Structure 1
Amino acid sequence: MATGRDHRVDFWRGVALSMIFINHIPGNLWENFTSRNFGFSDAAELFVFLAGFASAYAYGRQFVAGQRLVASLKAWRRAGSLYLVQMMLTLVALGIFCWGVLAFGRGDLLHTIGLDAFVDTPVQMMVGLATLGHQLGYVNILPMYTMMLLMLPALLFLARIDLRLMLGASVTLWLLAAGFDIDMPAYPLPGGWFFNPFSWQLVFAIGLTCGFRRIKLGRAVPYRPWLMALAIGYAFLAFLTIRCNLWSWWGSLDLPVMIAGFDKTYVSLPRLLHLLAVVYIFANAAPTSVFSNISKDNLFAMLGRHSLPVFAMGTILALFGQVLKFGKPQNFLEDTLLIGSGLVLQFALARYLEWWNKAKQAKIQPTAGRTSPVPATYGAHAPAFAGRTIRRL
């Protein structure tokens, strides 16, 4: 049974957060080197998969052990925290882009990231923002994650019976969402959420399954040479498709979009399989590989351990970056400074949070055999402190 913290999970979550930050500043030079340029899936799928994996430890063990109400309330409390962060990020996004309009005289900024509704139908938009219906561009992953946590007790209930039952139900919901266009409404606009929670729950559920298997068996999926060869082959096919622009070949297969397409809203099969292939490859890296020996002090592992505050800061910095980058071509020096400074600030935040957690947990050891005298000003309360060692501030 494996119950200790796997720093590889934190490491890859930190890598995903970094790539999300880079991708959230469109038009910068460094977005050409993130994972989405080398395969069908991107950092969002990896982040949600790892969120499901971590949930097996954070909530799943307690739920399966019989504390179902406590585990469910913890998950829903976390969902409430995500909702508050989403509201904060949305308000900050509005402020940043309105500042950009005033500072640079670029009124067209209000016609980006879904801000048109802010101008055209502000009353309806405010209702949409509060109910998570209207989500600004690049500020739309937390609502989906919130839904995952609200749905988590149902997944854990099925997992407690059998993991295969949970996974089967999740696959069924994924198929129904794609087949019948089931999605959360994007009020006041037509259509649904960009990250359809009824589709993305499968990515989360697969991560949850892998987490439970690692807890129980010590390994999420056993290593098989033929399975590794299959994963590497599929990842290479995805790489060739992206780098050699072989989209026409996929289109010639004349298959449904969910089987041969690359839809992100409904998590089409090619994207899902690519995520699983990449995760399998790196999860089964050689024991001597750097990817198998991640220390607690690794910078990306620190990012991953503090994913919510780091994500929030990264989103705010990326929104500022969008305003500063708006309408400008790629420039090596400017883009490097923009991306580099943003990443440095996120690493600094993670390092500060590490220090702060240690400071809160530290216990000052009193000098052996010495006690501080009780000051006379304690008056009548002096006997309650008599004989106790008083910590020095």
Structure 2
Amino acid sequence: MRRPDPTAPAKRPRDPRIDAFRGLALVMIFVDHVPGNPYEHFTLRNFGFSDAAESFFVMSGIAAGLAYSGRFLPGALARDGLWAAVRPVWGRAWTLYLSQLFLTVWAIAIFAWGASTFDLPGLLTKINLRQVFENTGAALVGIPALTHQLGYVNILPAYSVLLLCTPLALVIGLRRPLALAALAAGLWFAAGLWRLNLPNYPNPGGWFFNPLAWQAVFVTGLLIGLRLREGARLVPVSRRLFWLAVGYLVLVIAWMKIDPLGHWLNHQLSLLGKAGAPFHLISHDKTFLALPRLLHVLAMVYVISCLPAVTAAAASALAAPLRLMGRQGLLVFCTGTLISLAFQVAMAARPGEAWLAWGLPPLGIAGMLAAAALGDAARARRRPQAAAAGATPHGIAAE
């Protein structure tokens, strides 16, 4: 049995905010992936430019920073070598890749079954399925190459690519965090300025979640995780910055809810565009993570991180189901994705049944919670075996 390393830091308790907000993001992603239900009017995208996807990427970056950074410290690298640090990160990226293929195959099966069972051939053209059924050979090349992604099944490819780059980001971030932040900001700006993206095939264009742009929120989370590991904050608490962030969040709500104000502000952005401002600085584009969206998620993260009441709420008994789902992020996401696709077919087959729109989402969330409970129980059974084998568990899993 491996003896404990006396120089290793003590195991840190899990931050309840990470699990709770990741669980909340997963619930909102699920609700948004069942279009036409009444609960979608209460998800984050109705109250801000960013939505649950940006929050998911930030939480994933924080989790990766906490889970993997210790292996990249100089002492750990000298003791165990670089490959021991890189292997679990790339192993996780491989798991995400396999999960993406699994979800894609089942998405095709669910919609094909729905089309034949309910005589709805239109389903075969939904969620970017047309290429699969009308240009099958090219689509079968694009699916494993991640260049052909189906709607509602397109978050994991970007996450997987970002994890492939995480070892390099950690090496830089642990030594030169400002350099990593500058590189991330520069890549985000260049991607929007020159429309840089990974290719789609056989469709034209690029990825909906462009990793060259979305790395900005992931790296922000990564840097937050690195500082949390040291028991510190990435950005210090500042009363002036806090109220500036609050002011922007309030402005965005007013922008979205007060039509005359929204039209006027959008017109001002269009004037900036005509004057030559790059589109990703003055639009609300999601693929290139336009500046208003990016600022919104950054402001939201900062405000939440400054409020002690948020930490207490995240640790409360009421938030336990969210924390449970957050701990089993990948399992819950995959479960929610498959359920949401099945519910889309059910609602298309029975468009006049209002009870489906009201009843299915709570059932889906219950299914996600059940999957999380099963996953948590399985992890608890594996933990003594890992300890007996001498494994060193992380304070937080990079789900």
TM-score, with structure 2 as normaliser: 0.86
The correspondence for 2:228, drawn from 214, 235, 242, is 214
What corresponds to 2:192 in structure 1?
178
The reply on whether 1:35 has 2:50 as its aligned counterpart is no
With over 3 angstroms needed to count, the CA separation of the structure-2 counterparts of 1:218 and 1:4, relative to structure 1, is: farther
Matches within 5 A, 1:306-321: 306-321=328-343
Question: Aligned pair 1:201/2:215, yes or no?
Answer: yes
In the alignment, structure 1 residue 80 sits paired with structure 2 residue 94? yes
Counterparts in 2 of 1:355 and 1:187: CA distance versus 1, 3 Å = same
Partners in 1 of 2:305 and 2:174 — Cα distance? 25
In the other structure, the counterpart of 1:369 is none
The answer to whether residue 369 in structure 2 is matched with residue 355 in structure 1 is no
Residue 93 of structure 1 corresponds to 107
Please tell me whether residue 60 in structure 1 is matched to residue 69 in structure 2. Answer: yes
| 1:211 CA drift (Å) | 1.1
3-state SS in 1 of match to 2:122: helix
Residue number among 8, 13, 26 corresponding to 2:35 in the alignment: 26
Computed over aligned residues only, the root mean square deviation of the Cα atoms, in angstroms, reads: 2.1
- Equivalent runs, 1:106-117 vs 2, <5 Å: 106-117=120-131
Deviations 1:268-310 (A, max 9, x none): 1111111011111211113487435346981100000000011
| Structure 1 residue 326, shift from structure 2 partner | 2.1
What corresponds to 1:191 in structure 2? 205
- For 2:119, the aligned partner's letter is G
2:283 equivalent in structure 1: 261
Q: Would you say the 8 A contact 2:17–2:310 is kept in 1?
A: no
Aligned residue number for residue 284 of structure 1: 306
Q: Which amino acid aligns with 1:239?
A: I
Q: 2:393 maps to what in 1?
A: none
Counterpart of 1:346, as a letter, is M
Partner Cα separation in structure 2 for residue 119 and residue 101 of structure 1: 12
How do 1:375-386 residues align onto structure 2 when only pairs under 5 Å count? none
Question: In the alignment, what sits opposite 1:341?
Answer: 363
Task: Output one character per residue of 1:34-93: Cα deviation in whole Å (capped at 9) or x when no partner.
Answer: 000000000000000111111111111211244332221211111111110100000000
CA contact (8 A) 1:285 1:291 kept: no
Report if aligned partners of 1:51, 1:207 keep a CA contact under 8 Å in 2: yes
Give the distance between the partners of 1:294 and 1:211, measured in 2 at CA. Answer: 22
Residue 252 of structure 1 aligns with which residue?
267
CA contact (8 A) 1:306 1:353 kept: yes
CA distance in 1: counterparts of 2:191 and 2:98, whole angstroms: 27
How far apart, in 2, do the equivalents of 1:332 and 1:355 lie? 36
Establish whether residue 305 from structure 1 lines up as the match of residue 327 from structure 2: yes
Paired with 1:127 and 1:225, the residues of 2 have a C-alpha distance of 53
Specify the SS of the correspondent of 2:158. helix
Amino acid at match of 2:147: G
What amino acid sits opposite 2:203 in the alignment? Answer: L
* Secondary structure of the corresponding residue to residue 113 of structure 1: helix
Distance in 1 of aligned mates of 2:129 and 2:194 = 29
CA contact (8 A) 2:331 2:375 kept: no
Structure 1: distance between partners of 2:361 and 2:161: 30
8 Å Cα contact 1:8-1:292 kept in structure 2: yes
Structure of greater Rg = 1
Aligned to 2:173: 159
Q: What is the aligned partner in structure 2 of residue 389 from structure 1?
A: none
**Structure 2 regions of 5+ residues with no counterpart?**
1-8, 386-399
The count of corresponding residues between Structure 1 and Structure 2 is 363
Q: Note closer, same or farther for the CA distance 1:115–1:299 as it changes in structure 2 (3 Å cut).
A: same
Give the superposition deviation at 1:329.
5.7
- AA aligned to 1:325 is M
State the alpha-carbon separation in 2 of the partners of residues 247 and 107 from structure 1.
Answer: 39
Secondary structure at 2:230 match in 1 = helix
Counterpart residue number, 2:395? none
Q: Which residue of 2 aligns with 1:384?
A: none
Compared CA separation, residues 169 and 222, structure 1 to 2 (3 A): same
Distance in 2, Cα, partners of 1:131 & 1:315: 20
**Deviation (angstroms), 1:220:** 3.4
Q: How far apart, CA to CA, are the structure 2 residues paired with 1:124 and 1:339?
A: 35
Evaluate the alpha carbon distance shift between residue 81 and residue 226 of structure 1 in structure 2; reply closer, same or farther with a 3 A threshold.
same
Deviates more, 1:188-197 or 1:291-300: 291-300
Task: Kindly state the Cα deviation for residue 325 of structure 1 after the two structures are TM-superposed.
Answer: 1.5
Kept in 2, the 8 Å contact 1:29–1:330? The answer is no
Counterpart Cα distance in 1 of 2:32 and 2:170:
33
Output one character per residue of 1:210-243: Cα deviation in whole Å (capped at 9) or x when no partner: 1111222433332211111111110111111222
The gaps in structure 1 that reach 5 residues or longer are 364-393
**Corresponding residue SS for 1:151:** helix
Q: From the superposition, tell whether residues 332 and 100 of structure 1 become closer, same or farther in structure 2 (CA, over 3 Å).
A: closer
Q: Is the 8 A contact 1:258 1:269 kept in 2?
A: yes
- Could you tell me how far apart the structure 2 residues matched to 1:217 and 1:174 are? 28
TM-score, scaled to structure 1: 0.88
Measured after TM superposition, the shift of residue 102 of structure 1 is: 1.1
- What do the CA deviations read for 1:188-208 (whole angstroms, capped 9, x no partner)? 111000000000011100111
The corresponding residue for 2:390 is none
Q: Counterpart of 1:250 in structure 2: which amino acid?
A: L
CA distance in 2, matches of 1:88, 1:99: 16
